[in-house]
């Protein structure tokens, strides 16, 4: 096939033009099909796909040659390694590419002035830019400015678009293009936009669309149109441009492919959502690099997805500015990080640091545990002042002159000069370790003044000698002693008098005694540190010197961070911006936030915009309805999540023998596609694991699991952020009782289900769920809304 002639390089989106010149932007275009007509039929599309794949294969061959030569031609070892790594990862990306769904959508602009410089143009959008042999783009990166139109255009505001096309692919390898779906946005009148010549007919005609993600997903839509299914409550934006309700969930419900993608079964790690990003999500993803935002979103509203896509977007758009500093993603635990770890590489971004907060802290073995009272004091923001005072108590007022022998001279600095030097350095408020060096420099400056009055101007070697001479160092050790975080914290926790001075007027006697070590260690080397101590050590390290920071930090489950943990993040984003993701209703730590403004202050971004997301993409309406019963008792002011899905089932079942009932429920769950999780209070899990083992059902723990195992045994405390097609919650009362914020935990646990939720109980259900009698087995309800 002859590829359509690329269009003249049009230009737009100048204000957001990517900094990297070899990246595509809106200038990357393609004339609307051969002879000015874009591919219309499936056969034409498939022929074009074959040509794009051939181009990809050619790029891969070139990249392979470069990998072979690049490592040997580079000048020094560092350059060779960097270049080699880059080329290898590029070659690897490309190697995966020809087989994959190389694009997900197409923009066809109107041949009218409203389309501006894109008049009549046609662009294919994918995960990565694909140029042809002459450098003209065949596929444009989803992050390029022009791609925004794909996510934003609507019948009410077509943004110059004539038609938006979405492609359906099989989930197999190689992915086959099975069909497409069109939405007429401009040009034609509203009557054309639904059905008619629009996508519905073509889909029907071709009869070949499966889904964006997996085979058969569209089957679930049956004869009902996607609009009906997603917009059951009449609240979904209609492609015909019908009047919207004020509180519309702006889901692009016109698309069966979008619906299928949202409702597809979940197996394996989290996937990207580039084909189906919703407008309100897109706003967040493309927010300016310098803008910090806080996203308050209920379960499954796409907060994590938005955060990861924002990281990928920022890296693409500001690659130069992010070269130093980079992007950090902070998640709640290792299982969560493993779950999300594939998303950014799939988007071509391999250089994003992904860590738990604990991984950012100083490396000390954790060998002690605090009781809740002690941990609560240690996580309190007043500790920042206590630690600062304890540190600054080290600095003392000079009491005698400093005398420095220098050959036949003895330089004498009067005590007033020394005091002034200390006062001036303190007034500059530098980090402690830097302050010590600044004081040293001032002392040397004073010595130089003395020397210059008697001899000629001293040389550099003399200045260096003075800076390191014994009397100057002894003076510093006396007045501004060098210290280490562990030494200082050990002194604070081990000596009630030191603690009393640092905590005076801040912590009461009970709080001080909660902090103090009952049996102080003999030396700092034998001190046993708790997880909260490491947060304090990080605070002290940050008072001594600024840690290396990131240009942008994405913090997930941020509602769970203590004020002192927020400061860990604040220190690492001092010169950057934040994407703060969380849900106050899912706060389960003793210090969980109840107000975003306070949390943002601790994070160092008090003025960040707080943006709600309320459309739920994970949890079916029936499951959310059950979980939302818990919301009023959680005592946080957050909007209810409203599901964009109406599939799914909820069953509540009483059982005398819970382990046996669990095995039976798992067996039945395995008859359906997708992942299965058994979630219970942590202490109850071993018994359930034993039951599954006896029943011969293979299952793995979430924290040890390889993500391909179908049945996961999930302690309730590890459920956060994860999702499974079928969730079996065992004994909710026990989950509630297991911890002070057990109701919040239950809310988290119930909202992990993508399609089906079983609640098994022997004891009475928590009051809020008790009258959910309509859901009780055998009345298994579909769409219990
Ligand atoms: N626009 C979208 N299109 C398709 N799927 C989406 C979209 N937005 C989110 N999802 C999917 O919905 C699920 C939930 O998303 P995500 O985990 O990001 O939500 P969350 O708000 O972080 O949830 P939680 O607070 O429960 O952890 C994921 O499988 C995600 O891929």
ipTM comes to 0.99
Please work out whether the CB of residue 542 comes within 6 Å of at least one atom of ligand 1.
no
Q: Are 310 and 612 in contact (CB under 8 A)?
A: no
Q: Which residues contact 195 (CB under 8 A, 6 or more apart)?
A: 201
Q: Is 187 annotated as a binding residue?
A: no
Q: How far apart are CA 548 and CA 545, in angstroms?
A: 9
Show the tokens assigned to 670.
């395995």
Q: How far is the CA of 303 from the centre of ligand 1 (A)?
A: 6
Position in ligand 1 atom list of the atom nearest CA 752: 26
Q: Is 204 annotated as a binding residue?
A: no
For ligand 1, atom 5: residue with the closest CA:
262
Q: Is 168 annotated as a binding residue?
A: no
DSSP conformation class of 764: P
Please work out whether the CB of residue 618 comes within 6 Å of at least one atom of ligand 1.
yes
pLDDT given at position 78 = 57
Show the tokens assigned to 634.
């959680």
Q: Is 92 annotated as a binding residue?
A: no
Q: Are 556 and 581 in contact (CB under 8 A)?
A: yes
Q: What is the DSSP string of 594-638?
A: S-HHHHHHHTT-TT-EEEEE-EESSS-HHHHHHHHTTGGGG----
Q: Is 297 annotated as a binding residue?
A: yes
SS3 757: strand
- Per the DSSP assignment, residues forming a β-bridge with 590 are none
Q: How far is the CA of 332 from the centre of ligand 1 (A)?
A: 16
Q: Are 616 and 298 in contact (CB under 8 A)?
A: yes
Q: How far apart are CA 1 and CA 357, in angstroms?
A: 53
pLDDT given at position 41 = 86
Q: Is 302 annotated as a binding residue?
A: yes
- Four-residue CA torsion sign, 561, 567, 568, 569: positive
Please work out whether the CB of residue 751 comes within 6 Å of at least one atom of ligand 1.
yes
pLDDT given at position 517 = 95
Q: How far is the CA of 648 from the centre of ligand 1 (A)?
A: 16
Residues 368-381 have pLDDT tens digits of 999 999 999 999 99
Phi, psi of 430, deg, nearest 5 = -80, 165
Q: How far apart are CA 151 and CA 157, in angstroms?
A: 12
Q: How far apart are CA 226 and CA 203, in angstroms?
A: 12
Largest distance between two CA atoms of the chain: 102
Q: Identify the segments of the chain with pLDDT beneath 70.
A: 1-36, 66-98, 187-255, 265-268, 703-708, 772-785
Please work out whether the CB of residue 277 comes within 6 Å of at least one atom of ligand 1.
yes
Q: How far is the CA of 279 from the centre of ligand 1 (A)?
A: 14
Q: How far apart are CA 227 and CA 253, in angstroms?
A: 5
- Per the DSSP assignment, residues forming a β-bridge with 180 are 167
Please work out whether the CB of residue 303 comes within 6 Å of at least one atom of ligand 1.
yes
Please state, in angstroms and as integers, the Cα–Cα distance from residue 631 to each residue in 586, 626, 640, following that order: 10, 10, 8
Ligand 1, pocket-test mutation among 285, 302, 306, most atoms within 8 A of CB: 302
Q: Is 301 annotated as a binding residue?
A: yes
Closest CA to 295 of 584, 58, 665, 29: 584
pLDDT given at position 450 = 87
pLDDT given at position 488 = 96
pLDDT given at position 704 = 66
Q: How far is the CA of 262 from the centre of ligand 1 (A)?
A: 9
């Amino acid at each position: 096939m002859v590829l359509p002639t690329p269009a003249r390089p049009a230009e737009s989106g100048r204000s957001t033009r990517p900094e990297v010149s070899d990246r595509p932007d809106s200038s990357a275009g393609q004339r609307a099909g051969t002879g000015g007509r874009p591919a219309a039929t499936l056969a034409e599309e498939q022929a074009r796909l074959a040509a794009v794949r051939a181009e990809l294969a050619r790029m891969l061959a070139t990249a392979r040659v470069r990998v072979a030569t690049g490592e040997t031609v580079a000048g020094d070892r560092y350059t060779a390694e960097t270049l080699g790594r880059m080329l290898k990862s590029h070659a690897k990306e490309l190697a995966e590419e020809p087989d994959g769904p190389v694009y997900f959508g197409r923009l066809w602009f109107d041949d009218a002035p409203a389309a501006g410089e894109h008049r009549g143009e046609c662009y294919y959008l994918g995960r990565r830019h694909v140029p042809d042999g002459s450098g003209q783009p065949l596929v444009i990166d989803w992050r390029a400015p022009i791609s925004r139109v794909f996510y934003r255009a609507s019948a009410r505001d077509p943004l110059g678009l004539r038609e938006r096309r979405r492609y359906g692919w099989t989930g197999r390898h190689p992915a086959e293009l099975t069909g497409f779906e069109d939405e007429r946005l401009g040009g034609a009148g509203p009557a054309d936009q639904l059905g008619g010549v629009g996508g519905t007919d073509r889909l029907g005609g071709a009869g070949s669309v499966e889904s964006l993600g997996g085979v058969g997903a569209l089957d679930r839509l049956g004869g009902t149109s996607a609009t009906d299914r997603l917009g059951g409550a009449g609240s979904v934006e209609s492609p015909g441009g019908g009047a919207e309700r004020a509180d519309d969930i702006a889901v692009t419900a016109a698309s069966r492919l979008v619906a299928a993608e949202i409702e597809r079964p979940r197996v394996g790690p989290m996937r990207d959502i580039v084909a189906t990003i919703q407008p309100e999500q897109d706003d967040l993803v493309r927010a300016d690099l310098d803008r910090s935002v806080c996203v308050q979103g209920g379960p499954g509203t796409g907060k994590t997805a938005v955060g990861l896509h924002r990281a990928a977007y920022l890296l693409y758009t500001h690659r130069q500015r992010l070269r130093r500093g980079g992007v950090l993603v902070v998640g709640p635990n290792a299982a969560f990080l493993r779950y999300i770890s594939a998303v950014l590489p799939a988007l071509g971004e391999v250089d994003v640091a992904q860590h738990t907060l604990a991984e950012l802290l100083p490396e000390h073995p954790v060998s002690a545990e605090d009781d809740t009272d002690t941990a609560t004091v240690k996580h309190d923001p007043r500790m920042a002042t206590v630690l600062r005072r304890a540190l600054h108590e080290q600095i003392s007022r000079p009491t005698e002159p400093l005398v420095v022998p220098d050959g036949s001279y003895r330089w004498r600095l009067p005590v007033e000069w020394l005091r002034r030097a200390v006062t001036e350095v303190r007034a500059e408020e530098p980090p402690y370790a830097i302050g010590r060096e600044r004081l040293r420099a001032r002392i040397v400056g004073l010595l130089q003044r003395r020397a210059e009055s008697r001899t000629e101007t001293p040389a550099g070697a003399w200045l260096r000698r003075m800076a390191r001479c014994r009397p100057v160092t002894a003076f510093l050790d006396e007045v501004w002693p060098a210290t280490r975080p562990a030494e200082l914290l050990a002194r604070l926790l081990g000596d009630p008098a030191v603690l009393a001075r640092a905590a005076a007027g801040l912590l009461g006697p009970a709080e001080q005694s909660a902090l103090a070590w009952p049996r102080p260690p003999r030396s700092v080397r034998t001190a046993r540190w708790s997880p909260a101590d490491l947060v304090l050590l990080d605070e002290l390290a940050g008072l001594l010197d600024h840690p290396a920071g990131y240009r942008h930090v994405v913090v997930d489950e941020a509602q769970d961070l203590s004020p002192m943990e927020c400061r860990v993040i604040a220190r690492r984003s001092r010169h950057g911006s934040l994407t703060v993701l969380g849900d106050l209703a899912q706060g389960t730590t003793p210090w969980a936030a109840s107000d975003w403004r306070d949390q943002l202050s601790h994070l160092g971004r008090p003025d960040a915009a707080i943006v709600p997301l309320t459309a739920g993409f994970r949890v079916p309406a029936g499951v959310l309805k059950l979980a939302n019963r818990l919301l009023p008792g959680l005592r946080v002011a957050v909007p209810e999540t409203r599901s964009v899905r109406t599939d799914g089932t909820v069953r509540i079942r009483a059982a005398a023998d819970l382990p046996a009932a669990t095995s039976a429920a798992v067996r039945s769950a395995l008859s359906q596609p997708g992942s299965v999780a058994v979630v219970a209070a942590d202490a109850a899990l071993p018994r359930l694991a034993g039951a599954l083992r006896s029943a011969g059902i293979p299952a793995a723990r979430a924290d040890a699991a390889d993500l391909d195992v179908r049945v996961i045994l999930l302690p309730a405390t590890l459920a956060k952020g994860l999702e499974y097609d079928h969730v079996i919650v065992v004994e909710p009362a026990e989950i509630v009782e297991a911890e002070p914020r057990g109701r919040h935990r239950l809310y988290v646990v119930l909202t992990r289900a993508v399609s089906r939720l079983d609640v098994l109980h022997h004891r009475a259900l928590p009051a809020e769920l008790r009258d959910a009698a309509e859901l009780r087995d055998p009345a298994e309800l579909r769409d219990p809304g």
